[in-house]
Amino acid sequence: MAPTGLFNSYNPDPAFCEVLGRASDAEVNRLFLNRLGGKTRSTLAQRKARAEEEMYNLGITFTVYFGEETVDRILPFDVIPRPITKPDWDSLEAGVVQRIAALNAFLRDIYHDRKILKDGVIPSDLVLKNKYYLEEMIGVDPPGGVYTHICGTDMIRDQAGDFLILEDNCRAPSGVSYVIENRHLMMRSFPDLMENARVRPVSDYGVRLREKLADSAPQGVMDPSIVLMTPGVYNSAYFEHVFLAREMGVPLVEGRDLFVDRNDEVFMNTVCGPQPVHVIYRRIDDAFLDPEAFRKDSMLGCNGLMRAMKAGKVAIANAPGTGVADDKAVYAYMPEIVRYYLSEEPILKNVDTYVCRRPEDRAYVLDHIDELVTKPVGESGGYGITVGPRATKAEREAAGKAIAKDPSNYIAQPMITLSVCPTLTSEGVAPRHVDLRPFAVTGKGTFVLPGGLTRVAMKKGSLIVNSSQGGGSKDTWVLS
């Protein structure tokens, strides 16, 4: 079916296009062309403007830091959704569930028997000298045996149409609030587009999250008290903290609202007196979580939380020390990790990765830096990335010097041309590169939210989709 109406000027590369160019997605083609194709650009632009105004009025913002200055911004919202067919989603969902099972097995092992290190599957120093590896977690058994309760798995789609995992986010992945709010915006702005579309819902995420957190409560607690712990109003993701606490129906607390008694039990100060706390969904970095165990100067944490966790009196989600599992160098070993713990082949593949700490990989990267994407292993948000084929000579030289100076801090990957989706721009509908971050929550089993956060590079030709780098987002439709 050929593009019509609004899409006459949209001429996507059929090798990349996930919406209009795939013959197997007849339902998707029909839905988009019949409903969106008849609308004018001005109509879409008006609805987009109203949606973004509503986002700002509702406080759906994130904070960008420019030195001493902070600016609140909305995440640019594209009104043309990204559909995913049921067969694609079924495979993607199974791969995410498998991946998280392997990650939790890996985390338990490295903080207990370290069999994977003794068997030489992954270098010991890569784990034990990792800045996110916490000796305080050695021998600790989190309630329920879950280390990473909430995980956001970043993935892309390559030229062949296959989903590839780009990185794992096992500490405190953000963005799920946009998944839900984007859907609400679409329902209000485009009720005519969504009518009878048979799109799987996302609004029950808060209920699912609370259920999975309750699954991980200390043994013997029948009706666990759950709180969401935030660093406070100045955190860049504070809107999401408020949003998730409301969606779960749990208190939003700061470190100063909690205390640990002499029996290593955690309590929350309330107007009705101290109330017990059994599960803490924390959005605070490890270093600031407990001044008694980590940074003594932290004003954000609560003294004694690690004592309480070690005593089995409280569950902390995600567990301290999970950051070692989403290190980009550890990521390179994830196929071996899946095979080692699950005796299965990975359902979802990694992007080919060169680990610069290996001499042979480092030599190749330095010789081909103009062809590769280099990344620092511990950074997030798109910071520190050098896209070799699109970088200046000076930028490539700077990246090479940084790698030569501290090779253990870098990995490199071939530049994968991300798939594109039709996106409303100031010039009309045009292809823009996208990735996908499905969110999964684990307790007694793992639930994957249907869809996830589709981030879109709003700048023409850009491959950087991170909000901190000017990226936007789309509603993601999983067709049932």
State pLDDT tens for residues 389-413. 888 999 999 999 999 999 988 999 9
pLDDT reported for residue 244? 97
More confident residue, 303 or 195: 303
Q: Which of 82-91, 377-386, 470-479 has the lowest mean pLDDT?
A: 377-386
Check whether 111 has a pLDDT greater than 70. Answer: yes
Q: What's the whole-number average pLDDT of the chain?
A: 87
Architecture in CATH of 353-414: 2-Layer Sandwich (3.30)
pLDDT of residue 343: 98
Say what the pLDDT of residue 12 is: 40
| pLDDT at residue 9 tops 70 | no
Confidence class of residue 11 from pLDDT cuts 50, 70 and 90? very low
Q: Is 212 or 39 the better-scoring residue by pLDDT? A: 212
pLDDT number for residue 57: 76
Each residue's pLDDT tens digit, 201-246: 999 999 999 999 999 999 999 999 999 999 999 888 899 999 999 9
Whole-structure pTM value: 0.87
Ordered by start, the domain boundaries in the chain are 353-414
pLDDT at 158: 84
pLDDT at 295 over 50: yes
pLDDT(121) > 50: yes
Cα 321-327-331 angle, rounded to 5 deg = 125
pLDDT at 25 over 50: no
Higher pLDDT, 10 or 314: 314
What confidence tens digit (pLDDT) does each residue in 241-272 have?
999 999 999 999 999 999 999 999 999 999 99
